[in-house]
C-alpha cells in the first residue's frame, strides 16, 4: 500500500488541454473515484498514473518514490481495464499468473498467489476454464484477481463495471468495495456513473474540462456543492431563480420567499433536492417554508413516485416521495390540483 501525490499535472494534445495543472493527494488505503463527463480528463489522468502517457509538466509520487518518468513495469501498479483485457488463449490460472511470470516469481509462490487471488474473488473452481467460457461478471473478477496477485502498491480501475448489465453491475460493485476494504489497497477508479461513484468511493474527484471542480465525500458533494455544475452532476436537483439576502432569505422574481440557513447575499439560484420537498394537504406549522404549488404530472417508479410541480411564479420543481407517504397524507396526484410543500431551511442551498 502507498499514498499517491499528484502535483501540477498537465497534459495537452495540440491546442486541447486534456488535464490542466491537477494537484491531488490520495491517502494510503483510500478508495478514490475520478468522476466526470466524457472528455473531462479522468481517464487521461489514470493513464498518466499507470505510465502509459507522459505528462507535459507536473510530478507523480507513489509513497516515497517519484514515478513521473518511470516506465509502467517499474511502478508496481495493478490495472483493471474496461474490457477486462484477458488473454483468450490462456486459461484463468495462467491469466492471473501472467504478471507474476513476468516478474519471475518462483513456481511454488506463484501457485500460492494465484490460488489466493482466485479465492478472494470466489473463482477457484474455474481455474482451468478459458475466458470465453465465463460470464462478463466472472471475467471482470478474473481481471481483478490478476491485478491484485502481483501485490500492487495501488490499484487503478478504468470504468471496470461499464460493460456489465445493470443487475450484475450492482453485485460486482458491492464485491469490489468489500474486496478493496479487506485488502486495504489504495485504489483509484474512473467512472462516469454518479451512483456508482457515490456508493463505493471514500472520496470523489469531480472533473470538468481537465480541471478539478470539487473533491470530497459523496455527502459533501451532494449536500454542499461548490457550484451549479457539481450540484447538477451529482444527483437530481431543482434550481430556482431568484436573489439571496444577508437575512437568510431567498426571493424569486415572482415574490416567492424561502428561508435558508445558507447566508449568501449574492446568490442568484437556490438548489433544492427532490427528496427534500414534503407534500401535504395543509401547512406544516413546524416547517419554515410552506408553499402552495400545483401538480403538473406524476410518474410511478415502484417504491417511489416523481411528482412534477409548479410554483406560483411559474418555476417548475420535481418532488420524490413514496406511495405510502402520499396515502398517509391523503394526496391524490391529479394534474392541475393544488397541494402544499414544506422545505427545511437547511435544504435550501444557495449558489
Domain ranges of the chain: 4-230, 237-350
The per-residue pLDDT for 129 is 97
The per-residue pLDDT for 37 is 95
The per-residue pLDDT for 283 is 87
User: Per-residue pLDDT averaged across 254-266, rounded?
Assistant: 89
Question: Is the confidence at residue 199, as pLDDT, over 90?
Answer: yes
The per-residue pLDDT for 187 is 97
CB atoms within 10 A of CB 106: 9
CB atoms within 10 A of CB 191: 23
Q: What is the mean pLDDT of the chain?
A: 94
- Burial (Cβ within 10 Å: 0-12, 13-18, ≥19) of residue 79: buried
pTM over 0.85: yes
Confidence of residue 165 (pLDDT cuts 50, 70, 90): confident
C-alpha 336, offset from chain centre: 37
Report pLDDT digits (tens) over 97-137: 999 999 999 999 999 999 999 999 999 999 999 999 999 88
State the sign of the Cα–Cα–Cα–Cα dihedral 273, 278, 279, 283.
negative
- Closest C-alpha to 84, from 158, 189, 169: 158
Beta bridge partners of 291: 341
User: Per-residue pLDDT averaged across 291-319, rounded?
Assistant: 97
The per-residue pLDDT for 287 is 85
C-alpha 104, offset from chain centre: 37
The per-residue pLDDT for 285 is 84
Question: Is the confidence at residue 306, as pLDDT, over 70?
Answer: yes
User: Per-residue pLDDT averaged across 258-268, rounded?
Assistant: 89
Indicate the SS3 state at residue 215. strand
The per-residue pLDDT for 1 is 66
Q: Which three cell numbers stand for residue 122?
A: 470466489
User: Per-residue pLDDT averaged across 46-53, rounded?
Assistant: 97
The label of the residue with cell 442568484 reads 268
The per-residue pLDDT for 264 is 83
Residue 95 and residue 98: Cα distance in Å, rounded?
5
CB atoms within 10 A of CB 90: 14
Question: Is the confidence at residue 51, as pLDDT, over 80?
Answer: yes
Q: What is the CATH number of domain 237-350?
A: 2.40.50.100
Question: CATH for 4-230, among 3.40.50.300, 1.10.10.60, 3.90.1310.10, 2.40.50.140?
Answer: 3.40.50.300
Report pLDDT digits (tens) over 7-46: 999 999 999 999 999 999 999 999 999 999 999 999 999 9
Amino acid at each position: 500500500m502507498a499514498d499517491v501525490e499528484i502535483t501540477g499535472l498537465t497534459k495537452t494534445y495540440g491546442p486541447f488541454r486534456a488535464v490542466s495543472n491537477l494537484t491531488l493527494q490520495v491517502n494510503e488505503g483510500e478508495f478514490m473515484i475520478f468522476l466526470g463527463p466524457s472528455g473531462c480528463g479522468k481517464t487521461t489522468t489514470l493513464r498518466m498514473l499507470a505510465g502509459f502517457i507522459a505528462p507535459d509538466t507536473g510530478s507523480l509520487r507513489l509513497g516515497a518514490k517519484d514515478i513521473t518518468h518511470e516506465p509502467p513495469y517499474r511502478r508496481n501498479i495493478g490495472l483493471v481495464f474496461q474490457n477486462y483485457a484477458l488473454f483468450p488463449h490462456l486459461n484463468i490460472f495462467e491469466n492471473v499468473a501472467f504478471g507474476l511470470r513476468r516478474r519471475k516469481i518462483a513456481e511454488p509462490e506463484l501457485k500460492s498467489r494465484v490460488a489466493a487471488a482466485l479465492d478472494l474473488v470466489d473463482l477457484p473452481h474455474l481455474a482451468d476454464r478459458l475466458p470465453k467460457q465465463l460470464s462478463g461478471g466472472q471475467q471482470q473478477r478474473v481481471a481483478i484477481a490478476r491485478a491484485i496477485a502481483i501485490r500492487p502498491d495501488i490499484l487503478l480501475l478504468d470504468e471496470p463495471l461499464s460493460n456489465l448489465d445493470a443487475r450484475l453491475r450492482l453485485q460486482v460493485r458491492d464485491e469490489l468495495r468489500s474486496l478493496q476494504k479487506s485488502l486495504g489497497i489504495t485504489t483509484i477508479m474512473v467512472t462516469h456513473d454518479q451512483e456508482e461513484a457515490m456508493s463505493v468511493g471514500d472520496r470523489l474527484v469531480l472533473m470538468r474540462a481537465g480541471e478539478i471542480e470539487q473533491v470530497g465525500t459523496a455527502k459533501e458533494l451532494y449536500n454542499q456543492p461548490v457550484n451549479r455544475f457539481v450540484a447538477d452532476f451529482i444527483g437530481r436537483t431543482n434550481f430556482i431563480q431568484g436573489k439571496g439576502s444577508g437575512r437568510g432569505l431567498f426571493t424569486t422574481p415572482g415574490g416567492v420567499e424561502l428561508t435558508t440557513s445558507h447566508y449568501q447575499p449574492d446568490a442568484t439560484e437556490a438548489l433544492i433536492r427532490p427528496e427534500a420537498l414534503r407534500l401535504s394537504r395543509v401547512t406544516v406549522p413546524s416547517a419554515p417554508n410552506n408553499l402552495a404549488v400545483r401538480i403538473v404530472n406524476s410518474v410511478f417508479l415502484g417504491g417511489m413516485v416523481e411528482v412534477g410541480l409548479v410554483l406560483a411564479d411559474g418555476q417548475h420543481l420535481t418532488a420524490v416521495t413514496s406511495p405510502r407517504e402520499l396515502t398517509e397524507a391523503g394526496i391524490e396526484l391529479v394534474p392541475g390540483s393544488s397541494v402544499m410543500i414544506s422545505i427545511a431551511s437547511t435544504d435550501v442551498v444557495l449558489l
